[in-house]
Chain A
């Protein structure tokens, strides 16, 4: 459900990881350019919102445009499932134990 024209927004979560897949085109707005330069390595929507000092809702509009133009790629988060993935939970526990 990616569309920038009918007002629909991409299905983004605070922790969807965003990666730029192209250099900013000449036609890019300053906001788009700033965003594309920020996410040359993966960053969450939340981090982009924080670094660019833009509200989350504005961020999702910007990202919807960039996704529609294939300038960024979105890596969907792993959401809680009705039956939790034990392997995932164990990986998180293992990661926390290393702290």
Chain B
């Protein structure tokens, strides 16, 4: 990490700067398996071009997905794409597209613990990836909704069937979305926010 000249450091474009009034940020995590459309969803609603933060895993790299290229046999780089939405002059929302495998989550301290909530993004062709994610979020007490990314060539199932297949409790919303479309991704985030709001109203959030 030697910097020869600070001129070579790519920084934010002028329009990507936050106002000085920005006081605090909140985050929402979009979690799902590889290729499920996390980055697409982040990119469709983000006001900045999605950025990537990386972390290096020096152990327990066995069984890591091929897509997280590794430098050596023992070091694996895990990448997480994220975007940003300015809510007000004071408040900023960040969206993180996070790998579904729990062993990566600890790399970013407090990734889920501090998040307002999570969107579990699902591909109906690979439902099995989602069981584990849903279970882990429930264990951690992270409120979440499920969004089925409607890939054109993916089989379509009634939501009730998917709910049953995922063993999803009745109170947790499940919606269909097209992660490529801004309006659809925004509606998915709104579904999460309404769910969080309803939890707050009933005082059930833990």
- Given contact pairs A34-B6, A77-B114, A79-B113, A95 touches B205 in the complex (Cβ within 8 A): no
- Given contact pairs A75-B24, A82-B206, A91-B88, A37 touches B6 in the complex (Cβ within 8 A): yes
- Contact size range, A: 35 or more
Q: A36 to nearest B CB, angstroms?
A: 9
A54 within 8 Å of B by Cβ?
Answer: yes
A76 and B26 alpha carbons, distance in the complex (Å): 10
- Given contact pairs A34-B9, A41-B19, A77 touches B27 in the complex (Cβ within 8 A): yes
- Given contact pairs A89-B196, A95-B91, A96-B85, A17 touches B22 in the complex (Cβ within 8 A): yes
A55 and B199 alpha carbons, distance in the complex (Å): 35
A15 surroundings in chain B (CB, below 8 A): 25-27, 92, 94, 114
- B193 partner, pick from A16, A17, A41, A92, beta carbons under 8 A: A92
Report whether A93 and B190 are in contact in the complex, using a CB–CB cutoff of 8 Å. Answer: yes
Interface size on B, residues (CB 8 A): 64
A16 surroundings in chain B (CB, below 8 A): 25
B157 surroundings in chain A (CB, below 8 A): none
Q: A77 to nearest B CB, angstroms?
A: 5
B 102-116 binary contact with A (CB < 8 Å = 1; else 0): 000001111101111
Report whether B11 and A89 are in contact in the complex, using a CB–CB cutoff of 8 Å. Answer: no
A67 and B21 alpha carbons, distance in the complex (Å): 20
A88 and B82 alpha carbons, distance in the complex (Å): 21
- Given contact pairs A14-B110, A96-B190, A77 touches B117 in the complex (Cβ within 8 A): no
Which residues on B are within 8 Å of A, measured CB to CB? 1-4, 6, 9-12, 17-20, 22-27, 45, 51-56, 82, 84-88, 91-94, 96, 107-111, 113-117, 142-143, 182-183, 186, 189-190, 193-194, 196-197, 199-201, 203, 205-206
> Can you list the 4 inter-chain pairs with the closest CB atoms, starting with the nearest?
A95-B87, A79-B114, A50-B51, A84-B200
